[in-house]
Amino acid sequence: MKESIKKRVIELLLTFCMVTTGSVFVCAVYNRVFWSGDTFLDAAILWQLLAMAFVCSLGNFIHPYREVSRRREVFNKGLHYVYINVVVLGCGYGFGWMDIENIFMLAAMMLGILVVFVTVSFVIWRLHERETENLNRKLREYQQAAGCASEQ
């Protein structure tokens, strides 16, 4: 498989796993706050969460593999966040998770989206930092082997 496609598939799966985990947490808190009491959750919500997480993960494709400017990258990140809001709020409305007239439910849902988005972005950034540390270690080895570490 081509390296770029392989990388994108791995990123998609990783994002899907993280979004699913985050969604389950948010769902648990949300139900505790707004649907507490004797509410019995339909098992269909599990499939709904998985479907929503998958559609959210597809938002990764907003970021093209080709080269873009830093400004464009920031714009894409904003667009990605808007996309996730549309998907989650759309699912919330479509699957009946929230009462659209209840402003608190809407606000809590948006807060949940923000928390999951920031958490996932943070985890991805930490993984990227770890990758950078490995690259730097390999760079030092490469430069030592080539005898250029003492150049400067």
Q: Please report, as ranges, the residues that interact with other proteins according to CB under 8 A.
A: 3-4, 7, 63, 65-68, 70, 73-74, 76-77, 125, 128-129, 131-132, 134-136, 138-139, 141-143, 145-148, 151-152
Compute the least distance from the CB of residue 70 to other proteins, in Å: 6
What one-letter code names the amino acid at 70? R
For 105-131, give one letter per residue: b (16+ CB within 10 A) or e.
Answer: bbebbeebbeebbeebeeeeeeeeeee
Question: In this structure, how many other beta carbons lie within 10 angstroms of the beta carbon of residue 87?
Answer: 20
**Residue 13 CA to its chain's centroid (Å):** 10
Q: Which is nearer to other proteins, 86 or 135 (CB)?
A: 135
Q: Least distance to other proteins from the beta carbon of 142, Å?
A: 5
Identify which of residues 74 and 114 has a Cβ nearer to other proteins in the complex: 74
Shorter beta-carbon distance to other proteins: residue 101 or 151:
151
Rounded to a whole number of angstroms, the minimum distance from the CB of residue 139 to other proteins is 6
Min dist. Cβ of residue 1 to other proteins (A): 12
For other proteins, give the closer residue by CB, 45 or 124.
Answer: 124
The region that residue 96 occupies, defined by phi over 0 for left and psi between -120 and 50 for alpha, beta otherwise, is left
Phi, psi of 113 (to 5 degrees): -60, -45
